[in-house]
Structures are given as structure tokens and as C-alpha cells.
Amino acid sequence: MKFSPLVILCAAALLFSSCDHLIKGETKSNAPVPKKVIDLPLASFAMKIDPSCQMPLKKGEISDTATYQGKLYGFCGAGCKEEFLKNPGQYLNQ
């Protein structure tokens, strides 16, 4: 039995589109993927606030970290970490 190229192309598109959620890291129920949480004691961090946004750090709510001049800093998210790393001195000399 021969299949036309169009049938093969449609079958491949259907197969890959059904796997799209796996590539994006989503579950079948489209539930959000849990946020990464850094489980370290607050005493591990150089500051008790996110240096970028000034949000108080709370255990279970720290989702990213960076080390600068030998000190560990915690962040509420990747965006705050990225901003901090662009110019750490700006945030530490406040």
C-alpha cells in the first residue's frame, strides 16, 4: 500500500503536534509546571531581601540564586537575578 506525500505529512504533523506539550514542559492537563524552589536556610544568603526588587526572602519562595564576590544572593525569580547580574553594585550600594 502506497501513501501519498500529503498523507504522510499530515500524519507527521498530527504526531508532532500531540507531543508539543512534552516539549514545552506542560502536563497533559495543561496544569502549570511547578516553580523551582531553592530549599536553603535563610541564613545562607547575604541579604534577607531580593536585592533587585527588595522583596523579603521567605523559605520556600526563593526560586533562583547567584553568587557575587563570594556571597550567595537569593531572588524571587529569574528576571530579578538577571537584572542584578547586569550591575550588582547598583543593587548592593543602596
Beta-bridged to residue 64, according to DSSP, are: 75
Taking only Cα atoms into account, the Rg of the chain, rounded to an integer number of angstroms, comes to: 22
Lowest pLDDT segment from 57-61, 62-66, 80-84: 57-61
Higher pLDDT pick, 4 / 55: 55
CB atoms within 10 A of CB 84: 21
Buried b (16+ CB within 10 A) or exposed e, 55-83: eebeeeebbbebeeeeeebbbbbeebbeb
Q: pLDDT-derived band of residue 60, with 50, 70 and 90 as boundaries?
A: confident
Q: pTM score, two decimals?
A: 0.62
